[in-house]
Amino acid sequence: MISFVDYNENSDFSIHNIPFGVAVFNKEYIAVCTRIGNMVVDLATLYDYGFLDGIEGLVENVFEAYTLNEFIELGKPVTTAVRTKIQELFLEGSLLSNDEKSIADCFFELDQVKMLMPVHVPNYTDFYSSIEHATNVGIMFRDPANALLPNWKHLPVGYHGRASSIVVSGTEIHRPKGQMKPADADKPVFGPCKQLDFELEMAFIVNRNTEMGESISTAEAEDAIFGMVLFNDWSARDIQSWEYVPLGPFLAKNFGSSVSPWVVTLEALEPFRTASPKQDPEVLDYLKFDGDKNFDINLEVSLKPENGDENVICNSNFKYMYWNMAQQLAHHTVNGCNVEVGDMYASGTISGKDEQSYGSMLELTWRGTKPFTLSNGEERKFIKDNDTVIMRGYAQKDGVRVGFGEVSGKILPAK
């Protein structure tokens, strides 16, 4: 497929992608959009001009909206047809390619738009599905011989997080405050977190509402997943290590998570399917699945100090995940838990086997015992005030590239 829109061959937003987001156009109005190369396309106006006519189930302009939720809820038969139609419109020689007025009215340069949070998130769940990450954390905080807890290989461990503090890329995050207990102290102290960390994650978004008592099987799961985003689950390690027993993360996590503005559909990621890691012992029947359910998505994390250059500190891959998205959603709902349109489900920290692929500062510096040096000579054990963390992700195979752009966030001092 060749588009009439010029873009760099290394663009995340090729004609093979067609992601969805929400933008403010010319500081005037908000609408659902897509992107090709460095052009952001106003889908509400494209709809008004009749370019999306004839798609069964698309009976009104759901693109005149502040979120993707109404569009997503139409389900795969409609959203996939819309994506395919947009793809056709972007081809050389298409009806749109020769319509200069429509192009002028619908296509915007990146600096003419401001990207917003793509979905309203009713509920958020964070999983813990990388065996390498879970093993590293278990070695650090518990007995190395028993790094994984007894349940870890039998179910996708997760917890319910805070939906209200999930923010779009570029939103600044204040350093959290809370209780911490230094190793040499006999009681906790209160103050700003001293061990602030990122967690390299991805998240999927569901497209339906279910009733309490209903379950979604592994075979049904992907039909219920609209697409994916990059996800930085900021973490206050010193607050967490004191508070997490017996009920898990609380203040250490709920102060903020950052997501990329573009939702990449599962259909765009289809060419990049890959086999999951072998699961041993065998899982229970409701967690079994057929086919390739993992995706080969290259991931990168950079740390940029204030007035300094970006330093790539991690290269990982989503394919490392021990528990896949279909298993996560099946487990989440097997007890009858209902889901809602826009719900977001994060993967948990994504780490590989080698140190360069570790998806958190906790692992990269081994709990601060192995600090690294940035290009400006500064040392880092954890994230300092005014540091910016940038995550990027893309899949590439046989000349086809589909990417997510980036999710970035700057840490400000505690209020």
**Tens digit of each residue's pLDDT, the chain (415 residues):** 999 999 999 999 999 999 999 999 989 999 999 999 999 999 999 999 999 999 999 999 999 999 999 999 999 999 999 999 999 999 999 999 999 999 999 999 999 999 999 999 999 999 999 999 999 999 998 889 899 999 999 999 999 999 999 999 999 999 999 999 999 999 999 999 999 999 999 999 999 999 999 999 999 999 999 999 999 999 999 999 999 999 999 999 999 999 999 999 999 999 999 999 999 999 999 999 999 999 999 999 999 999 999 999 999 999 999 999 999 999 999 999 999 999 999 999 999 999 999 999 999 999 999 999 999 999 999 999 999 999 999 999 999 999 999 999 999 999 9
Q: Are 16 and 1 a contacting pair, CB within 8 Å?
A: yes
CATH number of 21-115: 2.30.30.230
The b-or-e profile of 79-106 (16+ CB within 10 A means b, else e) is: bebbbebbbebbbeeeebbeeeebeeeb
Q: 93, 134, 116, 29: which is closest to 363 by C-alpha?
A: 134
pLDDT at position 143:
85
Q: Is 133 a catalytic residue?
A: yes
At 167, the amino acid letter reads V
Query: CATH says 124-412 is which class?
Result: alpha beta
HSE-CB of 51 using CA atoms within 13 angstroms: 29
Which tens digits make up the pLDDT trace of 64-93? 999 999 999 999 999 999 999 999 999 999
3-state helix, strand, coil in the chain (%, to 5): 25, 30, 50
pLDDT, tens digit, for every residue of 237-281?
Answer: 999 999 999 999 999 999 999 999 999 999 999 999 999 999 999
Give the active site residue among 16, 120, 133, 332: 133
Q: Which residues contact 85 (CB under 8 A, 6 or more apart)?
A: 51, 52, 55
- Enumerate the domain spans of the chain: 21-115, 124-412
Q: In degrees to the nearest 10, what's the CA dihedral of 84, 86, 87, 92?
A: 140
**Cβ neighbours of residue 50 under 8 Å, at least 6 residues apart?**
none
